[in-house]
Structure 1
């Protein structure tokens, strides 16, 4: 009898345990809210290139690093705004005619390796970036701050720690976008101890910040896994225990993975799929506030693209409206200028180049190419927020260029090596795009097209001294009306010189499970996931 009762008791215990396990498991194979905690899997089109935020320029890297690291100041992500708010710095004062910034730092913050965050750590990071000219490793730094140490354009004169919790930046001149630049992901603060420990492997085998999540593992071209920083300085955050970034290159395959419960959220939704998603009560659609431009760029140091008439002719041989209709499902606006209309100083008075093949062919003849020429167009293999179907857009350009005698060979490159190839030059024509980092026009015009940015984000190797002087003057102005006037001048120069064909300003779409709360897409293209939760 006792044996029978023992068997019944064990059976009840096992049944109860299974029931409790079933209640805790949450449901889908993609996410879990088990006893181990909540996991969110984010599907994306391409892998990260490095986890050292200072060493990259691509959004797929920043999407991850933004959750591992913090910056001195941040954007107001809760309001989907690029207004600057405190982060690792709790307050700041601006003195000396706008040339000295003094930051008071948050006390008691630890890096994820247990070492102290303090003013000396900030100085270490900026010294590392400012002295990076020999390696060329920190491409974003010169494109935002005017160069490396020793370069005449560098706006940062020195960075010093006046005490453990105070850091002082002395500038060579006032810089209107300086605070917004500091909030950018590439200027997040790393652990000096980790950088010294891992050396050249920092960013591949280790990444140590003060952020909401800790880097756990990276399976190349597959997944990056982050776990909750239990010592995070923001009490009660993050709300997830595990955050996984999953690479699924094809947009349609990624959407199927979401519908099948293999992932919880994704970007890169095909515009043609959006209307069908809105009726699915298991999903929710998000629109990223538009602050981007997709463009066709020319390497102006290579023939025949060294001739402005050729570049102007090709501007007239791109059917932007056809591209928008075919590949954006109308969810984009034809671009005229190299910066989006939402930014300060956008010039509405500039007349866009018409789509006019007859005029384009005549201008090519005037430039000395009556029979056209042959060239190569490079494009990325992976979809981007601003370019959901890069290969199809390349084929559209190939088709219309062929009608004016320009024969185009298309070369497709994986995203992980595409930017590196563009930075090194030797590519005559390329498709690219940019999502603004900080909401300032400087982040488009200076960062992408100034001579100081050659070797970093200026893939066209375009240099114009008049433009440079205007952009530096615009940086140094604090009066918005004066900045607008200068940026209008800059856009006229760029329109006439035509180093690009601005293609579209896109309206990016993301989609996630209906059980996700707390997510607000940022106009910068990436955002922290500390406030996100999933049931």
Structure 2
């Protein structure tokens, strides 16, 4: 489905929210209900279907939330309170003096999932780690091109040219050899994308000629094991009873896929869902008045932005990009879309980052100056363009369609005729990856505290090639700055490079940073043990409900 709107609709008034939710409750009553057996355990109402069951192949937060922390473990984890790295599948690690060789000692007796389609004969070994990362790095690996051969996060951080070799030096000892020092290397091993796969399962699939099942019938070491997936309906997991850490509390975990926000809220109110992703900010006050529902809030590492496709004219012209940015009334957006639950962004980095440049001049709202810049760029009467708006809520943008309509009206004041375009979420992402857009409202949630987690995936030349750089912006000067930052472990020196990179971005304007949003989730009051992670993703293994 494609939606194109003319000059924007009026925002829904807060006084209508209660009536809307009441109507939504009636709508939900008409929807197919999950069978009682599937509702046993914990039910998480998700906003969309996963694109894959392998986090290496995606960057979508919807997919990552559904699979990464549930099915898989990584070599390292991130402490949600301090942001520091801590052991996970790797019990310890050491680094050579030149920063180019890393040794990881693995936990012993880590069991892989036992399912109807795979019966593991051994525990985790170094062979599994080698298999996992060679798949990403080596085109000759039998699984490299399964799923298209794209590993967007790893390609955006130039993983294949960074890591020269991964090898097993013993059953539980892994060696990574790098071509150059990289101060973000350990942080990248702790991301949700760095899930460890089973080499033994890979061998089974090779023998049966079913390599494609690796990413649709998953095997990991995480707290839950895969049981069932019905597209656009549900995902069902069972507890992994041989889990090497504390066992998951729910025996079953169901992701009930409900794209419509009002229906998700209605299911929460009728207790068909225990946890709901991304409640609309406009509805938080109403939700918080219910005694049977709790709203959780946390500061999160994220950025919502408007990216210009610099591979297309006129967005290849820096004056045009500056004019478009200057035409947007972000104060109005902060109130009408975020309802004050966000911080106006002056950089892609949140102010909580140690590399944030607080000296940046704020982007001003100045339609008169914007019109002047457009005339200087050769567009005195403006031009026509598209604003692509996500059809789903995300942490960094709770209502992209509404935001696009506000921007549409702003742009009309400088003669730019904007159409708002949206598609079903998976189609939206596919078409976005094919660079069909003029501009897009989207964003990013970091899953570690390293500043590089914002810069390279969003704006590097390698990310432009893989599709995570939605501005299609490849600038050698910018790439040089962020590369130099990675070559030193000295934080003060790294910060100086990142400060300069942020200043350069504010001048070149490949994207307009809009907001750093608070993260919210709604849970029924009888659910305990579900906490918001400031570094993205969601872990549900510790959730308990009622007398469970």
Same fold (TM over 0.5): yes
Contact 1:229-1:238 at 8 Å conserved across structures: yes
Q: Which residue number corresponds to residue 93 of structure 2? A: 92
SS of structure 1 residue aligned to 2:453: helix
Provide the C-alpha distance between the structure 2 equivalents of 1:200 and 1:31, rounded to a whole number of angstroms. 30
Task: Name the structure 2 match of 1:22.
Answer: none
Q: Which residue of 2 aligns with 1:312?
A: 322
Deviation of 1:418 (Å): 2.4
Q: What is the match of residue 481 of structure 1?
A: 492
Shift of residue 121 of structure 1?
A: 0.9
Question: Equivalent residue of 1:452, what SS?
Answer: helix
Q: Residue 143 of structure 1 is aligned with which of 156, 175, 184?
A: 156
Q: Distance in 2 between the 1:250 and 1:357 partners?
A: 35
Partner of 1:161: 168
Distance 1:44 1:320 in 2: 29
Residue by residue, what CA displacement relative to the aligned partner does 1:240-294 show, whole Å, maximum 9, x if unpaired? 1111111212222211110011111112111122122333221111113321111
State the distance in 2 between where 1:31 and 1:211 align.
26
Match of 1:69 in 2: 72
Match of residue 213, structure 2, among 181, 188, 201: 201
Q: Contact conserved, 2:39 with 2:272, CA < 8 A, in 1?
A: no
Residue in 2 that maps onto 1:10: none
Structure 1, 519-528 or 413-422: larger mean CA deviation: 413-422
Q: Show the counterpart of 1:181.
A: 188
3-state SS of the aligned residue for 1:507? strand
Question: What's the offset of the Cα at 1:190?
Answer: 1.1
TM-score, normalising length: structure 1: 0.89
TM-score for both structures, normalised by structure 2: 0.87
Report the secondary structure of 1:491's partner residue: helix
- Structure 2's unaligned 5+ residue stretches are 1-32
Alignment partner, residue 501 of structure 1: 512
Q: Distance in 2 between matches of 1:308 and 1:466?
A: 15
Which residue is equivalent to 1:20? none
**Structure 1 residue matching 2:215: 3-state secondary structure:** coil
SS at match of 2:41: strand
Shift of 1:82: 2.8
Give the match's secondary structure for 2:264: helix
1:433 lines up with 2:443 in the alignment: yes
Is 1:130 the equivalent of 2:143? no
CA distance in 2, matches of 1:375, 1:485: 37
CA positional deviation for 1:30: 8.0
TM-aligned CA deviation for residue 369 of structure 1: 0.3
Which secondary structure does the structure 2 equivalent of 1:378 belong to? strand
Q: Secondary structure in 2 aligned to 1:92?
A: strand
Q: Do residues 49 (structure 1) and 51 (structure 2) align?
A: yes
Partner SS, residue 224 of structure 1: strand
Question: What is residue 28 of structure 2 aligned with on the other side?
Answer: none
Alpha-carbon distance in structure 1 between the residues aligned to 2:338 and 2:131: 45
Structure-2 change in CA distance of 1:170 and 1:178 (3 Å)? same
Distance in 2 between residues matched to 1:341 and 1:418, nearest whole Å = 30
Based on CA coordinates, which of the two structures has the bigger radius of gyration?
A: 1
Q: CA deviation at 1:37?
A: 10
CA distance in 2, matches of 1:380, 1:511: 22
Give the whole-Å Cα distance in 2 for the aligned partners of 1:471 and 1:136: 26
Q: How much does 1:147 deviate?
A: 4.5
* Uncovered stretches (5+) of structure 1, i.e. residues with no partner: 1-28, 149-153
Give the equivalent residue in structure 1 for 2:62: 60
User: Distance between the aligned counterparts of 2:48 and 2:349, measured in 1?
Assistant: 25
For residues 356-395 of structure 1, the aligned pairs below 5 Å read 356-395=366-405
Conservation of the 8 A alpha-carbon contact between 2:355 and 2:499: yes
